[in-house]
Every structure is written in C-alpha cells, then in structure tokens.
C-alpha cells in the first residue's frame, strides 16, 4: 500500500485569461513536513496557496488531503478537514489581548461563539487550552497585553496561534516573517519548527537564511511551475536554482551552510 501524503497536488493550475499563473504543479507535503516554497517575486507562490486553501478554483488538476480529494471543496470545508493558513499581512484585532483572541478562536472552533450562556467548566477548559497555546508560541508572558502593543514578531506568532486554535493537520504560512525585524524572525521560525510533528507545514519565505535553517525540503516555483524540489543542500547547489533565483554567491553560501548542518 502506498504511503498517504498529508497533501498532494497533481497537474494543478490556474489561468487568468491567457496568463498561466500556476501550471502543472505536482506538490507533495509529507506528514510532519517542514517545507519551504520559494521563488522569485510573481512566481505564483501566493496563488498556489490560494488554490490549496480553496480561495481560487483550479482550471486544471487536483488536490488531495490525505486520501480525500478536496479539489471541489470550499475554504470552510477544507478548514474543517484541518487545513489552516496565515496571510502575508496582519489580520489581528489590535485592541484585543492575545489570550482573548485565542479564546475567541477556540470558541469559534467549538461552536461556542454564538452562545451567551456556557457552563463554567467549559469556559475554564477553553481558557486552559488558550493558555497552553500561548505557552507553545512563547506568548504567555504577553497574554494580557493589547495586541497593538506587541512587537511585530509577536503579532505574527499570535496569528499562528489563531491558526492552531482550529487544530489543523496542515498549516500553510504565507511569509510569516514578512515585516518582522531580523532579530525577531529567528525566534519566530524556531517556534514554527518546534510545532507538534503531527502538523505538516508549508511556508513561503524570501529570506534564504531562514529557508535553509528551518526547512527540511524546498520546492522552487518559477513562472508558475515547479522548477525543482529537494533537501536544502540539493537545492542550494542546483545550478538551475542559482541561475533563476537570487544569484550564485547568495544561494551557494546557504547551500554550504545546509550541507554542514545535514552532514
């Protein structure tokens, strides 16, 4: 029997008029993956995430989650199956605290959000779960600080906490470190890499230092198509990747680091 992948696309594509934004993509995410999706600006990375989450309907190909074909499912249906995402831009409520933000997200998952009356025990469970999530995301010290007062890196972590409140099996992160100062982005990715191994993660990231430090596999998208996929050391030393992406020295330097890390 063949192994069940967490997520798999076959021949996936979308065209806007005559423009093929994503074409013929075979992408596989294994259970527990820490996989980066890289590529030059406009390569189609966000469009691919939008196809995976159901924001866009493909004009070609299919998507499977585990052994289920999800190509025709809506965003909500995919979310209920355990597919969660974060966005490039901040989507938080600035006046809420992290604790209340996560409590609301958990309540939403449990269908409690519209209920004005709840047993005290159920409330306590929701607060306990929210607190545990904040601990995992290293936000527990800031649980009661309004979101607007948090450093931007912490806000991005909170967005991941909100995605995790849905208890996803697959987490798609669209540039989680976008706009985060360099001294905070390392911690952000440490937390991401340490998330439970039963969550498969695909992340878009432009910072090659973060990509080569924190991914176990890299998919390179160029002009809407997968150019190549592989372990960081393979990708860093692939001349085609060097040619189309970033320039020789930059990628080669990270390849050397990756080779050292995985030797």
Ligand X SMILES: Nc1ncnc2c1ncn2[C@@H]1O[C@H](COP(=O)(O)OP(=O)(O)OP(=O)(O)O)[C@@H](O)[C@H]1O
Shortest spacing between CB 39 and ligand X, in angstroms: 5
Shortest spacing between CB 100 and ligand X, in angstroms: 31
Closer residue to ligand X, CB minimum distance, 23 or 164: 23
- The residue written with tokens 């159901």 in the block is 54
Instruction: Report the candidate in 2, 47, 33, 99 with the shortest Cα–Cα distance to residue 231.
Output: 33
Instruction: Report the candidate in 207, 199, 220, 209 with the shortest Cα–Cα distance to residue 261.
Output: 209
Query: H helices of 118-181, where?
Result: 120-136, 152-164
Strand positions, DSSP E, the chain: 7-16, 19-25, 28-29, 34-38, 60-65, 68-69, 83-86, 170-174, 200-204, 217-222, 225-230
Which pair of tokens denotes residue 226?
A: 């997968």
Q: Choose the binding region for ligand X from 45-53, 102-110, 117-125, 250-258 (rule: CB under 6 A).
A: 45-53
Residues that bind ligand X (rule: CB under 6 A) add up to a total of 10
Closer residue to ligand X, CB minimum distance, 48 or 139: 48
Among 5, 34, 45, 78, binds ligand X (CB under 6 A): 45
Phi, psi dihedral angles at 10 (to 5 degrees) = -135, 120
* Residue 262 touches ligand X, criterion: CB under 6 A: no
* Residue 181 touches ligand X, criterion: CB under 6 A: no
Shortest spacing between CB 56 and ligand X, in angstroms: 7
**SS3 annotation, 219-240:** EEEECCEEEEEECHHHHHCCHH
* Residue 43 touches ligand X, criterion: CB under 6 A: yes
* Residue 46 touches ligand X, criterion: CB under 6 A: yes
Q: Choose the binding region for ligand X from 40-48, 130-138, 226-234, 247-255 (rule: CB under 6 A).
A: 40-48
Contact residues toward ligand X (CB under 6 A) are 16, 21, 39, 41-47
């Amino acid at each position: 029997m063949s192994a069940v992948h967490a997520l798999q696309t076959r021949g996936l594509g979308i065209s806007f008029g005559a423009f093929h934004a994503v074409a013929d993509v075979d992408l596989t995410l294994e259970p527990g993956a820490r996989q980066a999706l890289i590529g030059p600006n406009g390569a189609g990375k966000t469009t691919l995430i939008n196809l995976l989450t159901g924001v866009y309907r493909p004009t070609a190909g299919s998507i499977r989650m585990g052994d289920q074909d999800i190509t025709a499912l809506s965003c909500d249906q995919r979310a209920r199956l355990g597919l969660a995402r974060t966005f490039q831009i901040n989507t938080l409520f600035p006046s809420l605290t992290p604790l209340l933000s996560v409590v609301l997200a958990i309540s939403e998952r449990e269908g409690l959000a519209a209920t004005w009356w709840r047993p005290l025990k159920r409330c306590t469970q929701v607060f306990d779960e929210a607190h545990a999530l904040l601990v995992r995301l290293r936000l527990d010290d800031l649980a009661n600080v309004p979101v607007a007062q948090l450093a931007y890196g912490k806000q991005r972590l909170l967005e991941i906490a909100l995605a995790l409140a849905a208890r996803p099996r697959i987490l798609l992160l669209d540039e989680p470190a976008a706009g985060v100062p360099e001294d905070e982005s390392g911690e952000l990715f440490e937390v991401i890499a340490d998330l439970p191994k039963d969550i498969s993660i695909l992340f878009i990231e432009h910072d090659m230092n973060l990509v080569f430090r924190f991914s176990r596999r890299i998919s390179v998208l160029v002009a809407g198509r997968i150019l190549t996929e592989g372990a960081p050391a393979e990708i860093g030393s692939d001349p085609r990747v060097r040619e189309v992406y970033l320039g020789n020295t930059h990628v080669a330097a990270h390849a050397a680091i990756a080779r050292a890390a995985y030797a």
